[in-house]
Structure 1
């Protein structure tokens, strides 16, 4: 009985805190649905300062917040846009919509931002090319990407190179795409490039090279901590499943 009363009191305290501080009301659902576990999640991920030095806490908070309130960034961008119809706010809305997989809305926002801006916004032009690719307009996306001035070799150069490789693959220019994939994945951080290349190879029925690439992903994933793996869990799950299929096929 004492445990039940204590649990209810803690839930009420947390609920009152949500209301008084103006936090997202969806936390009320978690608090009352999951009892003390919901309260603990609220305290650890919402109340505790986001600027604490523990990067694992910051990562966990961002991941859970994204699941609890996936529309948060979209709403914030829309509010900012209502206050000021600027190029930067349209681009921010495009970023938020693209992150949610709403590529038509992202395309419209990026185009508006480019139209309002002073010109030569090459970063946004690359983002527009990305969402055009996601919408199936690879030819237009490649034309747009070709119009962007070259940058010095580095992370941005590699990111554009990966997009170009995917565009070339989608357009059936396999030899160019393969050479670019091989070049980019040797430098780019993370396993995204390897996974895209493996998918390309599987589609072209080059199972031997696809298995080699996915085995590299598997080996490198073992050196990551849990937080890093969880951040891209779907990608690593896909890689593991495809690697298992390739191994069974060659057994």
Structure 2
């Protein structure tokens, strides 16, 4: 049995299932069986694609597929919108997208332009600026931005901002302060990165036994978590296992 025939049958079956689920006339099934690839192509164009446009799940799948094919597509769309209307909302969206795709220079410029007037101390814009500065490896500027954020918005809470602040302190050589922040994050950060970075820094300052305790506790805790959580955090859990192995070898 050839691969072409198998693919044809699978496509026909998939479209037939769509016919039944969408309540379309059953004559489509006969057309699909008779017409093979041509009928499948026609059906996808006149039925499947229009349905996907109106189905939130379909739109999400389509959006992800387009993003995978052309990662900068959304950014170009947002840039066009900003060119048409230079509003705070359009700049915010483009800044967030630039940060997401790793264009830290553009993100930093946009966030700096947003931090004026009534938004001069907006905590979300300040956090975005700090994230883009850190992305540009300017950890001193990022730390300073976060400290201004804290001073201007004492009730603002952001786990990602807290972790970034600890990272900045570590990068600029304020090790003791970084350890204090990581110690808090080890219990409060909603993920494994905070615990891993705390243990790694402990090991770097020759506190290997404490680092081992943190890592062992982290891995035991992860085993008790649901599978989806371990899959989501697998990067940091793998890094924790490697760090623990290196402590054992040292």
After TM superposition, the score normalised by the length of structure 2 is: 0.69
User: Within 5 A, what are the aligned runs for 1:88-107?
Assistant: 88-107=89-108
* Structure 1 counterpart of 2:41, from 5, 12, 24: 12
CA RMSD of aligned residues (A): 3.7
CA shift, 1:205, in A, is 4.1
User: Within 5 A, what are the aligned runs for 1:110-121?
Assistant: 110-115=111-116, 118-121=119-122
User: Within 5 A, what are the aligned runs for 1:192-231?
Assistant: 192-231=193-232
CA shift, 1:90, in A, is 1.6
Give the secondary-structure state (helix, strand or coil) at the position aligned to 1:186: helix
CA shift, 1:129, in A, is 1.3
In structure 2, the CA distance between the partners of 1:18 and 1:164, relative to structure 1 (3 Å rule), is: farther
- Maintained 8 Å contact 1:214/1:239: yes
1:185-217 CA distances to partner (integer Å, 9 max, x unpaired)? 222222221122233234334333223222233
- Maintained 8 Å contact 1:87/1:112: no
CA shift, 1:121, in A, is 1.5
- Maintained 8 Å contact 1:91/1:113: yes
In structure 2, the CA distance between the partners of 1:72 and 1:47, relative to structure 1 (3 Å rule), is: farther
CA shift, 1:11, in A, is 5.9
CA shift, 1:139, in A, is 1.8
Structure 2 Cα separation of the partners of residues 160 and 236 of structure 1: 21
- Maintained 8 Å contact 2:192/2:233: no
- Maintained 8 Å contact 1:87/1:114: no
User: Within 5 A, what are the aligned runs for 1:17-32?
Assistant: 21=50
Residue 134 of structure 1 corresponds to: 135
Specify every segment of 5 or more residues in structure 2 that has no aligned partner in the other structure, as ranges. Answer: 12-35
Equivalenced residues, count: 218
Residue 162 of structure 1 corresponds to: 163
CA shift, 1:110, in A, is 1.3
Structure 2 Cα separation of the partners of residues 224 and 83 of structure 1: 48
Comparing both chains, which one has the higher relative contact order based on Cα–Cα distances under 8 Å and sequence gaps of 6 or more?
Answer: 1
Structure 2 Cα separation of the partners of residues 17 and 212 of structure 1: 60
After TM superposition, the score normalised by the length of structure 1 is: 0.68
Give the secondary-structure state (helix, strand or coil) at the position aligned to 2:188: coil
Residue 22 of structure 2 corresponds to: none
Instruction: Select the structure of larger CA radius of gyration.
Output: 2
Residue 152 of structure 1 corresponds to: 155
CA shift, 1:233, in A, is 3.6
In structure 2, the CA distance between the partners of 1:96 and 1:223, relative to structure 1 (3 Å rule), is: farther
**Higher mean Cα deviation, 230-239 or 67-76?**
67-76
